[in-house]
Chains A and B, each alone.
Chain A
Amino acid sequence: MQADPNQVTTELIRSLALANGLNIPEDRLEIVLEQYKAFLESVALLNAFPLDREAEPATTFSLTQEDAPGQPPERR
């Protein structure tokens, strides 16, 4: 099931912000919501891209570990 950005509301933005220790003023909730929806669309694209079951993230990016041509991982 993919996330549906249209189901996200300003109420959710307020809750997520408070859970993260941020206080987003009421008059900014709507514009932050629109930006957040745009990010969710990018996330949806990433989630739809087929990845190998064992694909690991490159959380600490270092080309010295990656500079040799490798085989693309098998896709599901």
Chain B
Amino acid sequence: MKQPHGKPPVKPSQTNTPDGKQSGLKQASLKQAKTTRRGFLEISAAAVAGLTLSPLAQSSPLAASASSMTSAQAPATGSGSQGIDLPSLTLVEAAARIRQKQISPVELIQAVLDRIAALEPKVGAFITVAAEEALEASRRAEQEIQQGRYRGPLHGIPVGFKDTFYTRGIRTTAATAVLQNFVPDFDATIVRRLKEAGAIVIGKTNLPEFSFGGFTAGTNNPWDLSRNAGGSSGGSGAALAASFLLGATGGDTSGSIRNPASTCGVVGHKPTFGVVSRYGVVPISWTLDHLGPMAKRVEDCAILLKAIAGYDPNDRYSVRVPVPDYPALLRRNVRGMQLGIPPPTALADFHPDTLSAFRRAVQVMEALGAEVREVTLPPSIHVASAAQRIIRISDAATYHRQYLLTRAGLYGADNPAGAPVSRVRTTVEAGSLLTAAQYLRAQQVRKVFLREMLQLYAPLDAFLTPTMPAPAGETANPAITFRAEFNVLGFPAISVPAGFSTAPPGLPIGLQISGKPFQDAVVLALAYAYESATDWHQRQPAL
């Protein structure tokens, strides 16, 4: 096992530069260009010339990163059967090969561990890598499959858990010295369910101390190692982008699944509140925390969500609703679906590249037959993030009281500004001084916000926004971020890759699709339709 905390940031091995213009709208010729890097570049050049792309594609100024490549071109740090670079496979691709016995779980896990050994020092995605446990589990999986006891698409798949998820026998630190020696004696419900589905725990991914914040100290963005992976589930996002994992989990209180998913160019889904159990996970806020899947593809997320969703009596807020067959519901026709978008004034302060990518994503949705219209935002949205802040910190202060009283000196100094204090400790100490009346005022506003947004969503199938105001390390400060607001609401929201920045070049940008409560399948289907119509997800960072 290893502990990467405290290591200095890794400098970038190379600088991303644009090598051509693409819309990300998938063309048949792009699909065929996956065998060689030269082929990929040739196609990129063709795209620049507008020789093969549609009018929509030709109008796009988005730049592809010169250092990006398609999955079959990733570094062969983990080549296995038939010369396939196993870690670069998606969950679905690997599952198909395991089911058909083209590759074994042992091969796959070993290949992933080899890649982590080679590249983790650059990325810093993990707090703990459970190599021995993973290999042992892979041998059991191989034996089961050989004996005809194949469990399903997660059998033998390497996954990682944010280090707030309790893992029996594997320490769970929440990236804080307060919990540095904590080894749970049971698995979080999510961990248990994924293990039962046959998934193999590779390790525990990095995060900011106790999940506070959108910056994961020590985790570099695989697309530009001089930049951060976002947060708080930054280790999971970076690990997926670096092909250290084929599936992962994250926690989302203010956007912490969607932020790193967008920032690292992967998919992250915040399910409807109550759909996925929070039991056995270090909390921030009992009524704002959402746990969900992260993966390279939408279909991978759907498979993970199907495995982890469902009522759990150990979670007070778990809901008794049927778990849909999310993967089976992906391939629905989105023609005629009603999609809302914010008015231009609400997006005016977003980063120009983010805004451009969003506009093009909307065009793609329209090209797919969806009907898009601007909506009028309700007044309560302007105070929703304030309500979220007071609820979050009041809950957190209550949880942290046990540690403030006994281990206050162990809180760490993870503030990216370099302040010699723990931002978490300061926040929960100050939060402890708020009154019950102030907390309840926030909950009153929350209820109004929920009612007004249910009314806004009533005629819609989904609502589209950029996931993040700006790419990694860039600054934009809009009044409404459309991120923490969805934690107040509890509505499902997914981030899917939707482009790359031009200035600076090569940084991923995400599209957020949110839906009505318990309409996770609709959100996933729209994300899948968008993903299928574009090729942003096929690129991988060069490490």
Q: Which residues of A contact B (CB under 8 A)?
A: 13, 16-17, 20-22, 24, 28, 31-33, 35-36, 38-39, 42-43, 45-47, 49, 51-52, 55-64, 66-73
B60 part of interface (Cβ distance < 8 Å): no
Encoded as 1 (CB less than 8 Å from any A CB) or 0, chain B from 427 to 449 comes to 10111111000101111111110
Contact of B380 among A35, A49, A71 (CB under 8 A): A49
Contact of B447 among A28, A38, A55, A67 (CB under 8 A): A55
Interchain CB contact under 8 A, B448 and A17: no
Q: Given A46-B386, A46-B390, A61-B273, does the pair A20, B432 have CB atoms closer than 8 Å?
A: yes
Residue of A nearest to B433 (CB): A16
Interchain CB contact under 8 A, B448 and A55: yes
Interchain CB contact under 8 A, A64 and B319: yes
Interchain CB contact under 8 A, A66 and B454: yes
Interchain CB contact under 8 A, A58 and B454: no
- Residues from chain B with a CB closer than 8 A to the CB of A31 are 421, 426
From B380, B440, B444, residue with most partner A Cβ within 10 Å? B444
Interchain CB contact under 8 A, B446 and A58: yes
Q: Given A61-B273, A62-B319, A73-B448, does the pair A46, B430 have CB atoms closer than 8 Å?
A: no
B527 part of interface (Cβ distance < 8 Å): no
What are 17 pairs between A and B in contact, CB < 8 Å? A13-B433, A28-B429, A32-B429, A35-B426, A35-B427, A35-B429, A42-B386, A42-B389, A43-B442, A46-B438, A49-B383, A49-B445, A61-B287, A62-B319, A64-B319, A70-B455, A72-B452
B158 part of interface (Cβ distance < 8 Å): no
Interchain CB contact under 8 A, A63 and B518: yes
- Residues from chain A with a CB closer than 8 A to the CB of B380 are 49
- Residues from chain B with a CB closer than 8 A to the CB of A66 are 447, 450-451, 454, 517
* Chain A proximity of B422: nearest CB distance (Å): 10
B274 part of interface (Cβ distance < 8 Å): yes
Q: Given A46-B445, A59-B440, does the pair A71, B451 have CB atoms closer than 8 Å?
A: yes
Q: Given A63-B273, A66-B517, does the pair A57, B427 have CB atoms closer than 8 Å?
A: no
Interchain CB contact under 8 A, B448 and A22: no
- Residues from chain B with a CB closer than 8 A to the CB of A17 are 429, 432-433
The size bracket of the interface on B is 35 or more
A45 to B378, CA, bound (A): 16
Residue of B nearest to A8 (CB): B433
B472 part of interface (Cβ distance < 8 Å): no
Contact of A63 among B319, B429, B441 (CB under 8 A): B319
Interchain CB contact under 8 A, B389 and A58: no
A67 to B516, CA, bound (A): 8
A28 to B423, CA, bound (A): 11
Contact of A51 among B321, B445, B517 (CB under 8 A): B445
Interchain CB contact under 8 A, B430 and A73: no
Interface members, chain B 366-382 (any A CB < 8 Å): 378-380
B405 part of interface (Cβ distance < 8 Å): yes
Residue of B nearest to A41 (CB): B386
Q: Given A28-B429, A58-B447, A63-B319, does the pair A69, B440 have CB atoms closer than 8 Å?
A: no
Q: Which residues of B contact A (CB under 8 A)?
A: 272-274, 287, 317, 319-321, 378-380, 383, 386-387, 389-390, 393, 401, 404-405, 421, 426-427, 429-434, 438, 440-448, 450-452, 454-455, 457-458, 490, 516-518
Interchain CB contact under 8 A, B448 and A46: no
A60 to B111, CA, bound (A): 46
Interchain CB contact under 8 A, B450 and A58: yes
Q: Given A55-B444, A58-B450, A69-B458, does the pair A39, B429 have CB atoms closer than 8 Å?
A: no
From B274, B432, B455, residue with most partner A Cβ within 10 Å? B432
- Residues from chain B with a CB closer than 8 A to the CB of A56 are 444, 447
Interchain CB contact under 8 A, A22 and B458: no
Residue of A nearest to B440 (CB): A57
- Residues from chain B with a CB closer than 8 A to the CB of A62 are 274, 317, 319
A73 to B452, CA, bound (A): 9
Interchain CB contact under 8 A, A22 and B432: yes
Interchain CB contact under 8 A, A72 and B389: no
A76 to B458, CA, bound (A): 25
* Chain B proximity of A43: nearest CB distance (Å): 5
A17 to B401, CA, bound (A): 12
Contact of B454 among A24, A35, A55, A68 (CB under 8 A): A68
Q: Given A61-B273, A67-B516, does the pair A22, B442 have CB atoms closer than 8 Å?
A: no
Residue of B nearest to A20 (CB): B432
Residue of B nearest to A47 (CB): B441
A47 to B132, CA, bound (A): 55
Q: Given A17-B433, A51-B444, A66-B450, does the pair A39, B390 have CB atoms closer than 8 Å?
A: yes
Interchain CB contact under 8 A, B448 and A51: yes
A5 to B346, CA, bound (A): 28
- Residues from chain A with a CB closer than 8 A to the CB of B444 are 51, 55-58
Interchain CB contact under 8 A, A43 and B390: yes
Interchain CB contact under 8 A, A70 and B451: yes
A55 to B287, CA, bound (A): 19
From A43, A61, A64, residue with most partner B Cβ within 10 Å? A61
- Residues from chain A with a CB closer than 8 A to the CB of B287 are 60-61
A11 to B11, CA, bound (A): 45
Residue of B nearest to A27 (CB): B421
Interchain CB contact under 8 A, A46 and B433: no
- Residues from chain B with a CB closer than 8 A to the CB of A43 are 386, 390, 434, 438, 441-442
